[in-house]
Structure 1
Amino acid sequence: MGRRSDVVIEINFDGIVGPTHNYAGLSVGNRASAANAGAVSAPRVAALQGIAKMRRMMALGLRQGVFLPHDRPNTGWLRALGFVGSEQEALASAWMADPALVANAMSASAMWTANAGTVSPASDTSDGLCHISVANLSTMPHRASEAAQTERQLRLAFADPRYFRVHGPLPSAFGDEGAANFMRVVPANGGAAVEIFVHGDGHAGGFPSRQHRTASEAVARRHGTDPSRTLMVRQSDAAIAAGAFHNDVVAVANGHVLFAHAQAFADPAALYDAVTARVPGAAIVEVPADRISLDTAIRTYLFNSQLVTMPDGGMTLVLPAEAGENADVWAWLSDLMATNGPITRLEVVDVRESMRNGGGPACLRFRVQVDADACAAIDPRFLLDDAACDRIEAVIAREWPEAIAPGDLGNPDLWAQCKHARTSLTAALGFGPDEI
């Protein structure tokens, strides 16, 4: 059994918004993605907003990591569909045959690292290792191609077998969308956690439920979690139909706190009872539907905020600007602050350009909890400090496109620019040309 420590270090690995960030509206069931389909995107602004958010988290005293944009356009994916010739020839042929295929190959959705995989910390697993399962993201074509590049980064970042075990993606028949459908609740004074896997049930309101129960059960088995402290919970059909394509659009957990909309789960009372029975001192913070409607919660991404523990032990809710600007949401949050409850601080960040593609602050991060020895074993190129942020910002300001319109996705100059931009970024962070 691996060694365990009571000292927990949490690192949030954010995805850098890639140079191909565009509004193609590829994500079925994602209201923001659909609403902004066809608009002109601002990849440079989006990426700089993401780095500013990471800097803010570091300024709050939190550890911050980063994952790199995937190689785009994904010509290998197009070749698998029968397009041949040079990279430019394969892309041009695909654009002529079906522009939607090139839009899929240009997707920057890997920036949503909450979908990179699922993490069970060493304290939750039978062998005392931190287990990470790469998500297959098989429901949506533009995301299903991400697993191979995601796995490469995860295996590089968490390569030390003394502390980590990285599992490949599950078979594609069983949709798995990673940590966006996963929560942990931990006793305030220490002790064993409860892992909560949230899944859908077929279709709701014409939208697919992207996380399958079978996939969640398989991840739990592979990670060796305690069955008595592993909960399989169904998301409500109402939430999926309203546009909650992942659980983290309607619920988030941190430490001993579960923060959720009243309509997030099919049977919220059963979940709350199961959590409080297993986690001494667990706090359920439920937002009533008569104060904030499901529609408002999803539109403002209130629950896609990051709920984080500060160095002083207090808990901060890191909100997107859209939530801070909504009168109903802010009124309820103000009342929450007045209760002296477990959430003690509100922090608003601006990630508007990526929000328009369907994800708030929590979608951009991949949470990993480790002890000091395991932290020291993580590849340091994935860990941020101010100097690394400076290098990233310089490349983005110099290389990222300022704007991408829908018709630009077929422009060979844009394909070349985006390839070069990513290569410049990986070099600036110390990665070899074929390493990541």
Structure 2
Amino acid sequence: MKLKSLILGSVAAAGLSTAGFAADLGVLTSLDVCDSLGISGLTISSSDNCLQITGGVSYEFNWGDYRGSFPVAGILGGASVRDTMDNDGVSPSELDWRSKFEAWLKFVGTASSDFGPASVTLKLKQVDIGRVRNEANDPDGDNAALTFDEAYVSVGDTTTIMAGKKGSIANFGDDEPFNFLGLFGSDWADKGVKWDILDGNLDTGGHVIQVVSAVADGVTIKAGLENLNDVAPVTSAGTAIGVLEYAGQGITAHVTGLAGGILDGTVDSWAMHAGITGTFDAFKVRGAFAVQNTTAATAWHGLVSVEGTFDMFKIALSGEALNNSAVGANTDFGFGGSIGATVTEGVSINLGGKYFDSNNAGGQDGYQIAAQLVAAVSETVKVTGEVGVFGNVTASTTDFYGAAELAWAPGGGFTSSIKGEAHQNGAYKVTFKAAKEFK
């Protein structure tokens, strides 16, 4: 119990019969700025400001012989090759390893204003990566200094104005396939549909001016100017973003529009990303579409996924299509599916596969088939095992693999895991992870 709460309780007990004491009690209560602003967690307060502090550290270490590339599927004429690991070293100099450390510390200072809460956000972040390939230093390593990842001001409640350095307001969600292996094109898009296939110097975040407004029940409108700090090339500077979102009654949906290079008065690239997810009793349905246009080409990526839960079984099917006029008029396709079953309490299995059909010159057809077992050994320990095969149909090659992971979450926000993976092509890797955040 807070000391202030104990004092207030004593005052209340002593002065319940006196109106004057009740008024004084109200004044004392209002001094708790963090409570009045609805801010919890690790906080420090003064008479009119609340400072919330959050942070975290994550660490990952990989070791083995895995830095080689085993091509599986070539997307849009081979513009992106989805691959798996391969061994490319020769003894006695065949080993690879990678050590990655990431830390962040965030401070949010908030006070009340006539327009709603007024805040300043400062987030410090450092990412440090060291890589070795075939027992020689890999220049792809990144030893970044501690920097301000975010530094911006904001004011407002139902309508919020933000300015400074921060992430984008663009919504790129509601676009991940439900089947447990996903899809090849979706993996290329970092799990979803890819809105920036052509690149086109269309960047988001950075130096921004943003407005977010909740205009109706479940409806939010966002507008902003982002990437205002981009000066090389100058023609790419400035991205205008508009977002319309809805969340309610089992449905989440959005449309995000982007126009790039606006600061010189000419739009040199535009894009759109839209997604919708509907949950109807035992079924989930998801659809997403993204398109990008530059002066040279137009490209798009679409996805549909459905999931049904029937007692102990869960079935998911997904499909995608991609097109890029810069590499040809043909459209690439991909599809996948999975079936999962809860065998006993804490034990489940997943069976699935995915296939990619490349229809442009230089592309490659490929597939993956896998079986997965997930078992909760205790409330804090989970074991996951997986066996499967990658196949490149165009090259007539296959790669069988097996993997096992032990995950531990003892509580307090701490998580850790160790995973081993071995492949038919000779590649192998051991991965250790540990992370903790405080909020």
For normalisation by structure 2, the TM-score amounts to 0.28
Bigger RCO of structures 1 and 2 (CA < 8 A, at least 6 apart): 1
Is the radius of gyration larger for structure 1 or structure 2? 2
For normalisation by structure 1, the TM-score amounts to 0.28
Q: Pick the structure with more strand per residue.
A: 2
